[in-house]
Amino acid sequence: MPQERTPLTSEIASTVAAPPPAHHRRRRSSLIGSVVFTIALLGAIALALHGSSPVIAIFTVAVVIALVGIFHITFVESDLFSVVFANAVGVYSCSYVISVHANFPRARDLSVQIGFVLPLICFAAGVLGHRRQIQHFLDRTRKHTTGPFHGAIRWMGPFLIIAVLTTYLHINDWTDGSQDLALIVAMASIGTIAWLASKQIALFLMETGMILQGFLRNVARLSRPAFAFLTCYSVITIFFGCIYSIYDQAQPAPTFLLNGEPHTLSFPDGLYLSISILTTVGFGDITAGAPLARMIVSSEVLCGVLLLLFGVEAMLGRGQREKNDHD
Q: Is residue 14 part of a domain?
A: no
* C-alpha span between 202 and 137 (Å, rounded): 10
Same domain, 185 and 256: no
- pLDDT at residue 272, rounded to an integer: 92
- pLDDT at residue 92, rounded to an integer: 82
- pLDDT at residue 239, rounded to an integer: 93
Where the chain has pLDDT below 70, the residues are: 1-31, 33-35, 37-38, 41-43, 45-57, 59-60, 76-80, 137-156, 315-316, 318-327
Q: Is residue 4 part of a domain?
A: no
- pLDDT at residue 13, rounded to an integer: 44
pTM over 0.75: no
Q: Is residue 308 part of a domain?
A: yes
Same domain, 199 and 137: yes
- pLDDT at residue 18, rounded to an integer: 45
Please identify, among 194, 215, 236, the residue that sits at the C-terminal boundary of a domain: 215
- pLDDT at residue 243, rounded to an integer: 93
pLDDT digits (tens, 9 = 90+) for 158-200: 777 877 888 788 888 888 888 899 999 989 998 898 888 888 8
Same domain, 198 and 236: no
Domain membership of residue 77 as a residue range: 21-215
Same domain, 57 and 146: yes
| Residue 70: Cβ within 10 Å count | 14
Same domain, 115 and 173: yes
- pLDDT at residue 17, rounded to an integer: 43
Q: Is residue 77 part of a domain?
A: yes
Same domain, 85 and 227: no
Please identify, among 177, 193, 215, the residue that sits at the C-terminal boundary of a domain: 215
Q: Is residue 11 part of a domain?
A: no
Q: Is residue 13 part of a domain?
A: no
* CATH number assigned to the domain comprising residue 272: 1.10.287.70
Query: What 3 state SS string does the chain have?
Result: CCCCCCHHHHHHHHHHHCCCCHHHHHHHHHHHHHHHHHHHHHHHHHHHHCCCCHHHHHHHHHHHHHHHHHHHHHCCCCCCHHHHHHHHHHHHHHHHHHHHHHHCCCCCHHHHHHHHHHHHHHHHHHHHHCHHHHHHHHHHHCCCCCCHHHHHHHHHHHHHHHHHHHHHCCHHHCCHHHHHHHHHHHHHHHHHHHHHCHHHHHHHHHHHHHHHHHHHHHHHHCHHHHHHHHHHHHHHHHHHHHHHHHHHHHCCCCCEEECCEEECCCHHHHHHHHHHHHCCCCCCCEEECCHHHHHHHHHHHHHHHHHHHHHHHHHHHHHHHHHHHHC
Same domain, 126 and 255: no
